[in-house]
A and B are shown apart, each in its own frame.
Chain A
Amino acid sequence: MKNIKFEPVIGLEVHAQLKTHTKIFCSCTVRFEEQENKNTCPICTGMPGVLPVLNRKVVEFALKASLALNFHINPVSIFARKNYFYPDLPKGYQISQYDIPIAEHGYLEIEKEGTIKKFRIQRLHIEEDAGKNIHRADKSYLDFNRAGTALIEIVTDPDFRSAEEAASFVRNLRSVLQYLDVCDGNMEEGSLRCDANISLRPVGQTNFGIKAEVKNMNSFKFIEKALLYEIERQTELLEEGKKVLQETRLWDSDKGKTFSMRSKEFAHDYRYFPEPDLRPLVINNNLIEKMKKELPELPDQRRKRFVNQYGLPEYDALILTDTKNLADYYESCVTAVSDPKMVSNFIMTEVLRYLKKHSLEIQENPVTAENLSKLLIFIKNGTINGKIAKDIFREMFTTKKSATQIVQEKNLSQVSDESSLQDTVQKVLKNHPTEVDKYLGGVQNLFSFFMGQIMKETKGRANPQKVTEILKELLKTQRS
C-alpha cells in the first residue's frame, strides 16, 4: 500500500447564527451574554401547548445568503422535526428542514493565484439552535437564552481536496455572510460553526472512501490543523492496510489531535417527519426580487472595485476586503487621506501586524479610522516622517491617544527648517572627516551613513528629503 498516493475528499457543514433581533419561532430577544434564562418564554423553553410562529426576518436573511451563494431557491420548502433527547433541547426535537430545504445547488467561487475554483454547495436550510448545558461541581444547569436562535446550515459537496481549500472556503463564506450582515461570523464564540466530513481515496479513483466526521474546530487555524491531522491519521491507517472507521471525531486543540466520540452519539435515528405546527414555507418571486435589490456589495465585487477605483494591486485588494469591517476601515481612511496606496501600505503592515499581535479583530481596533487618517495626513503633509509615524501608531494603539495629541506632547513634528538642518549636517560632516574623504574618494554608499548620523542627531525628526538635498549640496562644496 505504501506506494499508493491518496487524495483527501472533504465536505463541510457550516452552521451560521443569524443576526436577527428576535428568535426564530418566538419574540424573545437574541442575547446570550445576559443573565441565564432572561431571554426566554414558554415557546423557546418548550412549555406544554405552545406553538412556533416563523420569524419573517429569518426567511429574509436566509434568502439573502442563498442569493449571495448562487443558490436555487425552492418556491416551497418544508419544516421538519429532528427528534432526539437532550436537556438543552426543550421540545425533545429541533425544528429544521429536511427533504425540501429553502435553497439547493449553490456554489462559491474562490480565486487563488489567478485561477478561479468553484466549490459546489448542496443545500442551505433554516433551523433553530439549542440552549446550553452548564456543568458546575456536582450539578448541571440549563440556560435557554440561546434556545430558538435562528441558524442556517450550509452543506457543501465533497469538493475540497486539501485542508487549506476547506479552510479558505469557510473564510470566504464567513466574509460573504458578514458582508450581507446576516451573521457576525465569530468562530470562537460559536456564531459560526464548522464540521467536516473527510475521507481518503487513491488518486484517480472516483468513488469515495470511508469518511470520518470531525467536529469542534472553532477557528480557521483549527480547521486546517484538524484536517491535516485527519489526513495524516487516515493515510497511516490505509498504508498499514487498516480500515478507517465511520465515526464522529472531536478536535482537541490543546493536544492537536482528533479523538473518537462515543459510538452511541453516532447511532441516532432522528425520526425526521414534516413539522405539523408550521405550514410549508412559500417563497414568491416578489420577495426574491426584493431581497436581490437589498443585496449589498459582496467581497468579490468589492475586491474588483478596489483594484479599479483605487489602483491597488490584486494582493492588497484581496487582503483589505477579507472582512467587511476591514474594507470599511480602509475606505474611510482613503476618503480622508486620498492616497490609496499609502493608506493600504500602512494598514497592511502596521495596523494588521498590531491586531494580529494582540489577537484583536478590526472592529476591536483601538485606533479608529478617523485617528489613523490624521496620522497618515501628518505623514503626507510632511509634519512627521514614516519612521516616527510607526512609533506614534504604536503609542496610539496602546494609549488610544490621538495622533495630534502625541505629536504635540512629544514635540515630534518633523524638522524641515533649512538653517537648523544645515547646522546639523555641517556638524556631522565635521565630526567624520575620514568618512568624508573616503566618500569623496568614490565610496558612494557612505551617503547613507551620513544620513543615519543626521537622523540620530535629530532623533529621527529630520525631513529626509530636505536632509538629502542639504547633504548633497554640502558634500559638493567639500569636493571643491
Chain B
Amino acid sequence: MSNPKEHLYQKTAFDLVSGFKNKQWKAAEIAESFLNRALDTNKKLNSFICIPHESILDHATLLDEKRNSNEDLGSLACSPIAIKDILCTSGISTTCGSKILQNFTPYYDATVVEKLKDKDALIFGKTNLDEFAMGSSNENSFFGPVRNPWNLDCVAGGSSGGSAAAVAGQQCAASLGSDTGGSIRLPASFCGVVGVKPSYGRVSRFGLIAFASSLDQVGVFTKDVRDSALLLRIISGQDSKDSTSSSNFVPHFLDSLSIKKKWRIGLPKEYFQQGLDSEVRQALSQSISLLGKNKFEIEEVSLPHSDLSIAAYYLIATGEASSNLSRFDGVRYGYRASNPKNLNDLYKRTRSDGFGYEVKRRIMLGTFALSSGYYDAYYKKASQVRTLIIQDFQKAFEKVDLLLTPTAPFTAFKIGEKTKDPIQMYLTDIYTTAVNLAGLPALSMPCGFDSKKLPIGLQLIAPRFEEERMFQMAHYLEKEFHVQNSKHHIVL
C-alpha cells in the first residue's frame, strides 16, 4: 500500500479506531468510504448477502455525536466489521446462505455481535457463506458463489468465503467467521488475509447457528495480526448463555504481541507429504528456513493419526449437523412448502426444497452415522479416533510450543473445478479438521504467492488456550514477510 493518497477503506481496524478517536476522520467519512467501496465491489465479489447501508450511516451519525459530546468510545469505535451470515443479528436478516432461512430475521443478537456493538463497532452487513457453513469453496450458497479478490475466476474458499473476501477486497476493516473444520483458515489462506480460529470454548457460540456444536467456533478475519489480537480479545470470554464457553483467563493479546521467547516450532511430517502442491511446499520451506536463520529451534514431529482426521471429522460433523438442522422444519419460521397434504408432506417438501444439495448430502450421511446398528461403527468410532487425535497433539506439544503447517494443500482453485467430486472437495480440509477435533487454536496468515499470483497460507497451531504465543509468532512472521508480499495486489 505505497499509494500516498491512501483511502480510508484500506486501513486496519486499529488505525481507524485511533484516527476516529483522534478526530482525524469523522465516523460518517469512514462509513461512507467503506460503503462506497463495498457497494461498488460487491457485484464482482458477491461477498455480502446484505449491507444495511441506512442503519450503518445512522450508526455513524450517532458515533460522531458521541465523540463530539466527549463520551467514552469503545475500543472498536467506528471500525466497520462484517458478520458471517450464520451469526444472529437482531433486526437484520440471518440466512445461513440458505433458502430455508431466506426470510428469517432474529430478534436477538449473537453474544459476539453484542460484544462488538458494545465496543462501538460499525456492524457492516452480513457476508456470504456456504449454506449452513457446509463447504470448502463457498460455492454452496443459495446466493451464489463468492469470488476471490485476487482472481475473480477463483473461489474464495469456504465456508466463510464472504468474510474473507470482504476483508481482502477492502470492503470492511475486519469480519467475523465461524470455523468447524477450517472454515476460517481456508478462505483466509485463499484470500491472503489473517484468519483466526480460537480454542474451543474461548468464544461464545450463543447466536451462532450450529453446524456441528462440538467443533464450531467463532473467529476473526483481519488485514493484519494486530487487528486479530485486538478483535479476538473483545469477542472472547465466558458467556452465561453458552455452557461450553470456558472460564479460562483471556490475556490481553494486543499488549503481548512482541515475541517473549524463541518458541520451539514443530513441523508435523504428516502435513508435508504427498498431495501438497510444490509451490505451497516451497513457500513453506522458505518460511521455515527464515525461522532457522533467525535461530528458532525447529523440529519434525509426528501426528500419527492425521490420516484419520478427515473421516472422523465428516462423521462427527455430519452426525451433529443432522440433529442441529432438524429444527428447520417449516413449522415455526423460515421457508415452508405451500399447501402440504399432511404433516409428513410438510416436512418432506419444506426440507427437500429448502435445503441445498450439499446440506442434504450431509444430513443423510449424519443420519446414517447415528442410526441404531451403525452408531458404534461410525459415530462412536469417530469419537474414539478424536481422542487419539487429541493425544497426538498433546504428545507433540510436549516437545514443541507451536506447530507450523500449510493451511491448505493448494491455493485457490477455479470456480466449478471441484464441485463434481465431493471427496476431492473434502480433502481441501486435510490440514485443518484435526485442529477442530482437538479444540485447539490455529491461525492462517499469508506467507507468499504462487506463480498464478494467488496467496499461500501458513497455519500456526497452538496448545489449547495458548493463543497468545500463536499471535506473537504470527506477528513476528508478518514483519518478516512484509516486503515480499507487498509486491502483489488484488485485482479490484
A49 with B88, Cβ < 8 A, contacts A92-B327, A271-B367 known: yes
The interface residues of chain B lying within 8 Å CB-to-CB of A279 are 243-244
Give the nearest-CB partner of B101 in chain A: A48
A92-B323, A279-B244 are contacts. A87–B331 as well, Cβ < 8 Å? yes
B residues 324-349 touching A (CB-CB < 8 Å): 325-329, 331-333, 343, 347
Closest to A88 in B: B331
Q: Hey, what's the 0/1 contact readout for B361-380 against A, CB within 8 Å counting as 1? A: 00000010011100100010
Q: Is A93 close to B, CB under 8 A?
A: yes
Which of B29-37, B203-211, B483-491 is found at the contact surface with chain A?
B203-211
Contact B333 A47 (CB under 8 A): yes
Interface mask (A20-63 → B, CB under 8 Å = 1, otherwise 0): 00000000000000000000001001111111111000000000
List the A side residues contacting B94 at CB < 8 Å: 48-49
Evaluate contact between A90 and B371: CB separation under 8 angstroms. Answer: no
B399 contacts chain A at the CB level, 8 A cutoff: no
User: Residue A85 at the B interface, CB < 8 A?
Assistant: yes
With contacts A48-B94, A49-B110 taken as known, whether A81 is within 8 angstroms of B207 at the C-beta atoms is: no
Question: Is B302 an interface residue, CB under 8 A from the partner?
Answer: no
In the docked arrangement, what's the CA distance between A48 and B97, Å? 14
Verify A92–B329 contact, CB threshold 8 A.
yes
Task: Give A279 to B329 CA distance when docked, in angstroms.
Answer: 27
Q: Given the interface contacts A48-B104, A85-B329, A277-B213, does A271 sit within 8 Å of B206 by beta carbon?
A: no
Which has the most chain B C-beta neighbours within 10 Å: A42, A83, A271? A271
Task: List, in ascending order, chain B residues with CB within 8 A of A277's CB.
Answer: 210, 213, 243-244
Q: Known contacts being A271-B370, A271-B372, A273-B375, is A49 close to B87, with CB within 8 Å?
A: yes
Confirm or deny: B69 has a beta carbon within 8 angstroms of a beta carbon on chain A: no
Interface of chain B, main secondary structure:
loop
Taken together as a complex, chains A and B put the C-alpha atoms of A337 and B414 apart, in Å, by 93
Answer yes or no: A171 CB below 8 A from chain B CBs. no
Q: Which residues of chain A from 105 to 145 have a CB within 8 Å of any chain B CB? A: 142
Chain B minimum-CB-distance residue to A25: B243
Q: Tell me which residues across on chain B come within 8 A of A433, comparing CB atoms.
A: none
**Chain A residue, CB-CB nearest to B326:** A92
Complex: chain A residue closest to B368, CB-CB = A271
A276 at the interface (CB under 8 A from B): yes
Q: Whose C-beta in chain B lies nearest to the C-beta of A45?
A: B332
Instruction: Determine how close the nearest CB of chain A comes to the CB of B179; give it in whole angstroms.
Output: 16
Q: How far is the CA of A47 from the CA of B331 in the complex (A)?
A: 11
On whether the beta carbons of B88 and A273 are closer than 8 Å, the reply is no
A138 to chain B, nearest CB (A): 13
The A interface, classified by DSSP as helix, strand, loop or mixed, is loop
CA distance A42 to B370 in the complex (A): 27
A52 to B433, CA, bound (A): 26
| Residue in A49, A54, A83 whose CB lies within 8 Å of B243 | A54
Q: Is B106 close to A, CB under 8 A?
A: yes
Q: Which residues of A contact B332 (CB under 8 A)?
A: 45-47, 90, 142
Query: A83: which of B207, B331, B347, B370 is its contact (CB, 8 Å)?
Result: B370
CB-based contact B206/A91 at 8 Å: no
B87 contacts across to A, CB distance below 8 A: 49
The answer to whether the Cβ of B353 comes within 8 Å of any Cβ in the partner chain is no
Task: Report the bound CA distance from A46 to B333 in whole Å.
Answer: 10
Q: How far is the CA of A53 from the CA of B212 in the complex (A)?
A: 18
In the complex, the answer to whether B371 meets A269 with C-beta atoms within 8 Å is yes
Q: How many residues of A contact B (CB 8 A)?
A: 29
Report if A342 contacts B (CB, 8 A).
no
Residues of B within 8 A of A261 (CB): none
Q: Which of B101, B327, B370, B372 contacts A91 (CB 8 A)?
A: B327
* A237 on interface, CB distance cutoff 8 Å: no
Q: What 0/1 pattern do residues 305 to 329 of A give for CB contact below 8 A with B?
A: 0000000000000000000000000
Check if A295 is an interface residue, CB within 8 A of chain B.
no
Interface flag for A278 (CB, 8 Å): yes
Minimum Cβ distance to chain B for residue A190 (Å): 22
**CB–CB A83/B323 < 8 A:** yes
A45 contacts across to B, CB distance below 8 A? 332
Question: Is there contact, CB below 8 Å, between B370 and A53?
Answer: no
Binary contact readout B88-122 vs A (1 if CB under 8 angstroms, 0 otherwise): 10000010100001001011101000000000000
Complex-state Cα separation, A472 to B104, whole angstroms: 93
Give the chain A neighbours of B241 by CB distance below 8 A.
Answer: 50-51, 53
Query: Which chain B positions have C-beta within 8 A of A42?
Result: 106-108
Name the distance in Å between B212's Cβ and chain A's nearest Cβ: 8
A276→B214 contact, CB < 8 A? yes
The reply on B15 being an interface residue by CB < 8 A is no
Q: Complex formed: what's the CA distance from A479 to B474 in Å?
A: 124
**A278 with B333, Cβ < 8 A, contacts A47-B106, A48-B101, A92-B323 known:** no
Q: Take A276-B213, A276-B214 as given contacts and tell me if A271 and B371 are in contact as well, using a CB distance cutoff of 8 Å.
A: yes
- Let me know if B242 is at the binding interface, CB within 8 A: yes
Q: How far is the CA of A90 from the CA of B332 in the complex (A)?
A: 8
Docked CA distance A45–B327 (Å): 10
In the complex formed, the residue of A with least CB distance to B245 is A51
Distance in angstroms between the alpha carbons of A272 and B319 in the assembled complex: 10
The digit string for A83-101, where 1 denotes a CB below 8 A from any CB of B, is 1010100111100000000
- Using Cβ atoms and an 8 Å threshold, which residues of chain B touch A269? 371-372
Known: A48-B327, A85-B329, A92-B323. 11 other contacts (CB 8 A): A48-B88, A49-B94, A53-B242, A81-B323, A83-B323, A92-B326, A142-B332, A273-B319, A276-B212, A277-B210, A277-B244
Q: Which 4 A-B pairs have the closest CB atoms?
A: A92-B326, A276-B213, A276-B214, A271-B370
18 contacts between A and B (CB under 8 A): A42-B108, A47-B106, A47-B108, A48-B88, A49-B88, A49-B106, A49-B207, A50-B108, A50-B241, A51-B241, A51-B242, A271-B372, A272-B370, A272-B375, A273-B320, A273-B375, A277-B210, A277-B244
